[in-house]
Structure 1
């Protein structure tokens, strides 16, 4: 496993605006072979049913040390709500259905793609190889869903040694970075 470093570029209560910014950032990138990772906190069995129809493969685990259960146990997640659900390598066209299924719950959509463009103004060539992502945290302020919120945050991910790429990317879509550059488990 490798790690990227993420920095926030937008926080807004408007999910449509957050998705628009994410798509503008993706338009800068080389997105051939792009896939999406989803993470969600699920509180309702209806959401689990909808997710099972959307996601080709997923794992889940119950929240709380006093209620240990997971997909490793072959249990029914509906019997252990609330649960966290994670799914890797999903098709980008499933994002809207995923967000609809999760509803007002906290979730993360992370687009994984080939590379960021060259940034000659700051001395950087094409960036990528485990450092090219865009994440959208919905109803959460952090990448791990530990800080619930009523707004949404868009992050750009870069390699730590190319940290200056984050503000450069934000500027390309008319924004500025804020907060710290944080390590993200990919």
Structure 2
């Protein structure tokens, strides 16, 4: 397992603004073979039903631990609330329905991209898939869903061969009307 630096480029109380930013960044990225990963804390039966409608074969376990219930054991998640969702490698078109199903519950949605393109006019080289991700923290201030809030934050993950990712982070923030304030979280991949 490796880690990535997730740099916050936009925080907003308007979920539609955050989704627009994600769409813009996906339009910039090489996303031909991209997939999306979900992490969430689901607390209510209503949200659970909505999420299961989007992802009927949802991968989850009880927040109290797998021994208290999990999808692997065939348990009913409604009997184990709150649950933690860790569902990986989904098609890109499942992201927005999942986000819409969340209601007030916190989540992190991560797009595993094929790369960030070169931007010659800015002196930015192409970044390979291993270092190209995009995360939207929904209803929380962090990618781990530990700080619930009514805000949503867009994070970009970039890493150059020379280790200087700050110019790309600033450039990506500019593309979505955000700004990089220096807030970075280490994200396991």
TM-score (norm 1): 0.88
Question: Which residue does 2:28 correspond to in 1?
Answer: 28
Q: What do the CA deviations read for 1:125-175 (whole angstroms, capped 9, x no partner)?
A: 210222111111111011010110011111111127242222222123343
- The 5 Å alignment of 1:17-166 reads 17-55=17-55, 57-64=57-64, 68-120=68-120, 123-159=123-159, 161-164=163-166, 165-166=168-169
| Contact persistence 1:3–1:131 (CA under 8 A) | no
- Shift of residue 34 of structure 1? 1.6
How many residue pairs end up in the alignment?
Answer: 186
Q: Structure 1's 31 and 64: CA in aligned 2 closer, same or farther, altered over 3 A?
A: same
> C-alpha distance in 1, partners of 2:37/2:101?
15
The CA RMSD measured in Å over matched residues stands at 2.2
Q: What is the distance in 2 between the residues matched to 1:64 and 1:20?
A: 35
Checking the alignment, whether the CA contact within 8 Å between 1:133 and 1:156 is kept in structure 2 is yes
Cα contact 1:166–1:177 (8 A) shared by 2: yes
List structure 1 segments (4+ residues) > 4 angstroms apart after TM superposition. none
Match of 1:172 among 175, 179, 187: 175
Measured against aligned partners, the alpha-carbon deviations of 1:56-93 in whole angstroms (never above 9, x if no partner) come to 6432122246x843333332221110111121111221
Runs of 5+ unmatched residues, structure 1? none
Stretch of structure 1 that moved more, 72-81 or 135-144? 72-81
The structure carrying a bigger strand percent of its residues is 1
Deviation at 1:118, TM superposition (A): 1.0
State the distance in 1 between where 2:40 and 2:9 align.
21
Structure 2 regions of 5+ residues with no counterpart?
none
